[in-house]
Chain A
Amino acid sequence: MAKLRVERLTKCFHGKKVLEDITFEIRSGSFSTILGPAGSGKTTLLRIIAGVEKPDGGRVYLDDEDVTYLAPGKRNVALVYQTFALYPHMKVFDNIASPLKAKKISLSEIKEKVSHISDLLGIKHLLDRYPRELSGGEKQRVALARALVKEAKLYLFDEPLTNLDYKLRETARTELKKICKFFGATLIYATPDPIDALTMSDDTYILYNGKLLQGGPVRQVYDLVADINVARIFSYPSINLINVEIEVRNGKTYLKTPFINIELSHTLDPGKYILGIRPQDLYIISEKDYPSSVNSFPARLHLTYIVGSETIAYAEAEGIELILHLPYIYRITEPKNINISINTSRIFLFDERSWKRVYP
């Protein structure tokens, strides 16, 4: 359990700013995700927190102690790499025991702890094997065991699920959360996958191009994205962005989209804006509900593909491409005319120039 505070961290590689002025604080015992696309600086940030990389500027505080330049071995932090980083020339047992041997604990105690953790993770039968003999899922669990056996203050995970196949990823998510809650550890989890953030974490921090765009409780960030970049990152599949206009007539505010006009309860300055609506918040409505259903419009559905038991659909209306995410299976064999309805309580409006959210 530890509190982490990061202040004004900066790092440059070959003249390029990989991290710029990063500041945030993480509560002890919380599960935080660092969400960002590839190249946003997540890995560098984790490495600086772990101590294998030194920042060009800024400081790192663990439980109010300045550890910025402290050797990684002395921080009592654990890092699980995306590639798992298992020592190929050591058996699984020695891999897991490694952090314990560093602490110079007695051999019997080491055996006990390794045995306990491998029981918990269901890898006891693998202790005598070498990493090259393991499957992806097994390697991940060994990497996890090595981290957990340390009983560290802070656990850092660098995209640990990326190297697993789709099915395994889903089960791994729940297992990971369960185990970590069990240990009551403070956890930081870096991922490009917004679903990881939504399903697992308490807090999330959005990283983009080395800058921290937003941070806070996960639901809060999700529902109240700070700007278009956050919206783009924190959305799967990609968020729909449409150019719109606000008009005020007879004291009422109307949102003019290319497909329909929506009356808003809020008042906003008239002018051009960018509308953002997530694919999850667009629905296909049946013939009989149209046109009586409010906020719906016709569109042409031309492509769907099934993911698990859900569908991602591509439609086109008034020359604009829309993506929908349907929580059921919907198959088409040829393009079809449909009607789409917008969940107006979930729309975002962004300023045309600054890209910042102005509504809600």
Chain B
Amino acid sequence: MMSKIWSFALVVAICLLCIWTLFPIYYGFITAFKSRVEITYWPPTLFPTEFTTYYWITVWFDRPTIAYYRNTLIASFISTLIALAFGLPTAYTCARFNFRGRADTLFTILTFRFLPPAAVVLPVYVFLRELALIDTPISLGLIYGAINIPIAVWVLRSYIRDIPPELEESYMIDGYSRFRAFVNITLPLIRPGLIAVALIILALSWGEFLFASLLTTSSAGKTLPVGISEYMGGEWGYEWNKIMAITFYAILPLIVIFYIVRRHLIRGLTFGIVR
């Protein structure tokens, strides 16, 4: 009898959670298929009476959209590259060598992750202005790289520690240098984790808002999150169908990334502390 109640409660919980999670996504998604008029219907419709794919297409021809996409791509990729370029070697030495400042190094790096962007954005803004680097995706990428290095270091370290050091040692005894051992043994064996970390950092950079909105001023540098938020107030005002269309174009790659890395998410998001 009790178990029947629990089963029923479970079903209820599942339904509620599904609605809670999926409704906002669904509603936003189908709004992009609504016509201009229908957006403002009262009561709001749950499925468009006039199903339109028009806006999904026009959204691309509103000039800034392509630029925003491009900028987002550039910034995210640079960010990922930098985070990995700095993070991978650090992760390796922190995983393999037990040196005196190791704990402190790791914790300092981790602490940096938790600094509020808002607290450093002003001087960074001033600094970039001096160098005329405001409004470029490259500068965004550079700073995102810094923000994401801690994740790269901690998570990659976690993956490298999973590989028994004996494998690298054995390879070195075979006659190779430590570098070759790293390239031929460590890297292939952490490949899934490495890809996952890269994708997670890509995703995090993709959706970053604060720095992007404050450090860019035009379509030369603005990223998708900024563009979308501006459509809300400015250009498109109440054209929710367009806003939703571009929002989903922005979200879509991330959902794909999410699906690819789902097995690695816990490690990726808890800095490798929880496996």
* Distance A79 CA – B169 CA, assembled complex (angstroms): 9
A51 located at the interface, meaning its Cβ lies under 8 Å from any Cβ of chain B in the complex: yes
**Per-position binary interface string of chain B over residues 213-234, scored 1 when its CB falls under 8 Å from any chain A CB and 0 otherwise:** 0000000000000000000000
Complex CA gap A74/B176 in Å reads 8
User: Which residues on A sit within 8 Å (CB–CB) of B142?
Assistant: none
Chain B residue with Cβ nearest A13: B98
Q: Is the CB of B167 within 8 A of A102?
A: no
* Cβ contacts B140-182/A at 8 Å (1 or 0 each): 0000000000000000000000001011011111111100000
Residue B188 CB within 8 A of the other chain: yes
Contact indicator B167/A73 (Cβ below 8 Å) = no
Answer whether residue B109 sits at the interface, using C-beta atoms and an 8 A cutoff: no
B3 to chain A, nearest CB (A): 41
Binding site for B on A (CB under 8 A): 47, 50-52, 71-75, 77-79, 81, 83, 85, 87-89, 98-99, 102-103, 146, 150
Q: How far is the CA of A73 from the CA of B164 in the complex (A)?
A: 19
Choice from B173, B185, B189 contacting A73 with Cβ under 8 Å: B173
Give every chain B residue within 8 A of A89 (Cβ-Cβ): 188-189
- Minimal beta-carbon separation of A117 from chain B (angstroms): 14
Min CB gap B183→A, angstroms: 13
Could you tell me the distance between the alpha carbons of A24 and B142 in the complex, rounded to whole angstroms?
56
Cα separation A71 to B179 with both chains bound (whole Å): 12
Q: Is the CB of A81 within 8 A of B189?
A: no
B177 touches A79 (CB 8 A): no
How far is A78 from B167 in the complex, measured between Cα atoms in Å? Answer: 13
Closest residue of chain B to A158 (Cβ to Cβ) is B166
Complex alpha-carbon distance, A75 and B169, angstroms: 13
Inter-chain contacts of B166 with A (CB < 8 A): 81, 83, 85
Residue numbers in B under 8 Å from A71 (CB-CB): 172, 177
Is there an interface contact between A102 and B170, defined as CB atoms closer than 8 Å? Answer: no
The 7 closest A-B pairs by CB, nearest first: A102-B175, A99-B174, A52-B169, A85-B170, A85-B166, A73-B175, A72-B173
| Sample of 7 further A-B pairs with CB below 8 A, known A89-B189, A103-B175 | A51-B173, A72-B169, A73-B177, A83-B166, A98-B171, A102-B174, A146-B174
**Given A71-B177, A73-B177, A88-B189, are A83 and B164 neighbors across the interface (CB < 8 Å)?**
yes
- The docked-state distance in angstroms from the alpha carbon of A71 to that of B169 is 11
Given contacts A87-B185, A88-B189, A89-B189, contact A79 B164 (CB under 8 A): no
Q: How far is the CA of A198 from the CA of B192 in the complex (A)?
A: 47
By a CB distance below 8 angstroms, the chain B residues around A81 are: 166, 170
- With a cutoff of 8 Å between Cβ atoms, the chain B residues found around residue A73 in the complex are 172-177
Contact of A98 among B164, B174, B188 (CB under 8 A): B174
Q: How far is the CA of A72 from the CA of B185 in the complex (A)?
A: 16
Task: Report the bound CA distance from A51 to B177 in whole Å.
Answer: 12
Q: How far is the CA of A150 from the CA of B173 in the complex (A)?
A: 10
Q: Which of A74, A77, A85, A146 has the most CB of B within 10 A?
A: A85
16 contacts between A and B (CB under 8 A): A50-B173, A52-B172, A71-B172, A72-B173, A73-B177, A77-B173, A81-B166, A81-B170, A83-B166, A87-B167, A87-B171, A88-B167, A89-B189, A98-B174, A99-B173, A102-B175
**Distance (whole angstroms) from the CB of A116 to the closest CB of chain B:** 18
Question: Shortest beta-carbon distance, A141 to chain B, in Å?
Answer: 16
**Cα distance A146–B176 in the bound complex, in angstroms:** 14
Contact residues in A for B173 (Cβ distance below 8 Å): 50-52, 72-73, 75, 77-79, 99
Residues in B with CB closer than 8 Å to A150 are: 174
A50 to B188, CA, bound (A): 25
A262 to chain B, nearest CB (A): 51
Residue from B169, B175, B188, B189 within 8 A of A85 (CB atoms): B169
Distance in angstroms between the alpha carbons of A74 and B177 in the assembled complex: 9
Instruction: Tell me which residues across on chain A come within 8 A of B189, comparing CB atoms.
Output: 88-89
B-chain residues with CB within 8 Å of residue A72 when the two chains form the complex = 169, 172-173
Q: Do A102 and B176 touch across chains, with their CB atoms under 8 A apart?
A: yes
- The minimal Cβ–Cβ distance linking B190 to chain A, given in whole angstroms, is 11
A51 to B170, CA, bound (A): 11
Nearest-CB distance from A316 to chain B (Å)?
45
A83 to chain B minimum Cβ distance, whole angstroms, is: 6
In the complex the two chains form, what is the Cα distance from A89 to B175 in whole Å? 18
A85 lies within 8 A of B164 (CB): yes
What does the 1/0 interface line of B71-86 toward A look like (CB < 8 Å)?
0000000000000000
Name the distance in Å between A131's Cβ and chain B's nearest Cβ. 11
Least CB distance from A92 to B in Å reads 14
Measured between C-beta atoms, what is the minimum distance from A128 to chain B in Å? Answer: 19
C-alpha gap A25/B35 in the complex (Å): 89
* Interchain CB contact under 8 A, A99 and B185: no
Q: Write the nearest CB–CB distance from B43 to chain A, whole angstroms.
A: 59
**In the assembled complex, which residues on chain A have CB atoms less than 8 Å from the CB atom of B176?**
73, 102
B171: A residues at CB distance < 8 A: 87, 98
Residues of chain B with a CB closer than 8 A to A87's CB: 167, 170-171, 185
